[in-house]
């Protein structure tokens, strides 16, 4: 019998099904949990290179995630629907009680989605809203392994301010909510069922993280797959350099519209050009 905690989480013990001819291992599910802007996309893409099926239809690249999000659109759409039903969004999450109250309305949809994914021996997903919704999903996962990705509160808040123009105070509040929900959930797990990754380690000790994931999930990637996983992780200075170059190109493009030929530079004056540059850098 499965025990249910006060916060809606299940205490799970069974990891296999027993048949007449012996013990058969269940398919393994890998769920990446972490606040937005914490490095979960990088972890998800690493898992994909190592052989974990993370979805057929993935959310692509964007200015905020130039290398791709690594998010299964099926889970993204469902998570948005669940939060919306409780009158919330990722940045204005509903209370835990409200989410638990509405849980039964999505049992069928979650069951169907998980059943569709079970055809893969090892599969999983990454979608930050899942941090708020583990009481919805947990009972449908037979053999789950969780990857917890954490990043400093201030760094997450700064990143949200840059990407979403979100006030620092609100960013910290959101980080606290997501982190609390993750921590409450992992308290119900065995230490053998989750693997912790810090954002800084992801970029400074990426090889150690990659081999740690291989051992934790008992994967058997070939040398090429491991090398591809290593290429996913971009050093922070490389990421920042590319973003800086992208910003410069954007500024030059806008300047090009304002200054149609070199003669115009001298007509409007270089000081005015500098003002334009400063305006677009903001």
Report pTM.
0.77
Confidence tier at 256 by pLDDT (50, 70, 90): low
Q: Which of 234, 253, 271 is the last residue of a domain?
A: 234
Q: Is 235 exposed, middle or buried (0-12, 13-18, 19+ CB in 10 A)?
A: exposed
User: Which of these ranges, 105-119, 139-153, 265-279, has the smallest mean pLDDT?
Assistant: 265-279
Q: How far, in Å, CA of 64 to CA of 37, rounded?
A: 9
pLDDT digits (tens, 9 = 90+) for 15-64: 444 444 455 556 899 999 999 999 999 999 999 999 999 988 887 666 66
Q: How far, in Å, CA of 152 to CA of 172, rounded?
A: 10
Both 149 and 82 in a single domain? Answer: yes
DSSP 123: E
Both 26 and 86 in a single domain? Answer: yes
Both 85 and 222 in a single domain? Answer: yes
Phi (first) and psi of residue 173, to 5 degrees: -65, -45
pLDDT confidence of residue 23: 52
Token representation of residue 227: 């090398």
pLDDT digits (tens, 9 = 90+) for 165-191: 999 999 999 999 999 999 999 999 999
- Region at 22 (left for phi over 0; alpha for psi -120 to 50; beta for the rest): left
β-strand pairing of 194-198 with 144-150: parallel
pLDDT confidence of residue 250: 59
Token representation of residue 192: 């053998």
Residue 114 near residue 81, CB atoms below 8 Å: no
Both 51 and 139 in a single domain? Answer: yes
Both 136 and 263 in a single domain? Answer: no
Confidence tier at 233 by pLDDT (50, 70, 90): confident
The number of domains in the chain is 2
pLDDT digits (tens, 9 = 90+) for 113-152: 999 999 899 999 999 999 999 999 999 999 999 999 999 9
Q: Given a cut of 70, is residue 259 above it in pLDDT?
A: no
Both 257 and 181 in a single domain? Answer: no
Both 252 and 226 in a single domain? Answer: no
Token representation of residue 38: 């914490």
Token representation of residue 140: 């449908």
Token representation of residue 125: 């997903």
Both 259 and 150 in a single domain? Answer: no
Residue 50 near residue 221, CB atoms below 8 Å: yes
Kindly state the helix (H) or strand (E) to which residue 17 belongs, with its residue range.
Answer: strand 16-19
Both 67 and 121 in a single domain? Answer: yes
pLDDT confidence of residue 203: 86
Both 114 and 224 in a single domain? Answer: yes
pLDDT confidence of residue 236: 47
DSSP 72: B
Sequence-ordered list of residues with C-beta below 8 angstroms from that of 219, at least 6 positions apart, any chain: 50, 51, 52, 122, 213
Give the mean model confidence (pLDDT) for residues 95-107.
97
pLDDT confidence of residue 57: 83
Q: Which residue, 8, 15, 46, 43, is CA-closest to 29?
A: 15
Q: Given a cut of 80, is residue 232 above it in pLDDT?
A: yes
Phi (first) and psi of residue 151, to 5 degrees: -140, 150
pLDDT confidence of residue 88: 98
The side-by-side arrangement of strands in the sheet containing 122-126 is 122-126, 28-33, 144-150, 194-198
Residue 92 near residue 10, CB atoms below 8 Å: no
DSSP 261: S
Both 114 and 72 in a single domain? Answer: yes
Both 228 and 251 in a single domain? Answer: no
Residue-number span of the structural domain to which 39 is assigned: 3-234
pLDDT digits (tens, 9 = 90+) for 192-213: 999 999 999 998 999 999 999 9
Token representation of residue 93: 């999450």
Q: Given a cut of 80, is residue 8 above it in pLDDT?
A: no
CATH of the domain at 29: 3.40.50.300
């Amino acid at each position: 019998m499965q025990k249910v905690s006060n916060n809606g989480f299940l205490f799970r013990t069974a990891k296999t099904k027993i048949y007449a001819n012996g013990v058969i291992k269940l398919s393994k599910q890998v769920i990446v949990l972490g606040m937005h802007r914490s490095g979960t996309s990088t972890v998800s893409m690493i898992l994909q290179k190592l052989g974990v099926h993370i979805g057929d239809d993935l959310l692509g690249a964007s200015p905020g995630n130039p290398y791709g999000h690594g998010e299964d659109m099926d889970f993204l759409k469902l998570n948005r629907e669940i939060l919306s039903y409780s009158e919330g969004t990722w940045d204005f999450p509903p209370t835990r009680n409200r989410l638990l109250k509405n849980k039964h309305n999505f049992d069928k949809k979650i069951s169907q989605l998980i059943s569709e994914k079970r055809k893969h021996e090892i599969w999983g997903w990454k979608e930050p809203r899942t941090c708020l919704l583990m009481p919805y999903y947990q009972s449908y996962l037979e053999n789950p392994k969780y990857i917890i990705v954490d990043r400093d509160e201030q760094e997450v808040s700064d990143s949200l301010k840059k990407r979403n123009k979100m006030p620092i105070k609100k960013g910290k509040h959101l980080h606290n909510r997501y982190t609390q929900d993750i921590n409450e959930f992992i308290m119900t797990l065995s230490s053998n069922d989750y693997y912790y990754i810090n954002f800084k380690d992801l970029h400074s000790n990426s090889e150690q993280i990659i081999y740690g994931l291989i051992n934790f999930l008992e994967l058997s990637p070939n040398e090429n797959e491991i090398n591809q996983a290593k290429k996913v992780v971009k050093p922070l200075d490389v990421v920042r350099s590319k973003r800086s170059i992208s910003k410069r190109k954007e500024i030059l493009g806008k300047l090009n519209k304002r200054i149609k030929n070199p003669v115009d530079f001298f007509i409007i004056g270089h000081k005015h050009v500098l003002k334009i540059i400063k305006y677009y850098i903001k």
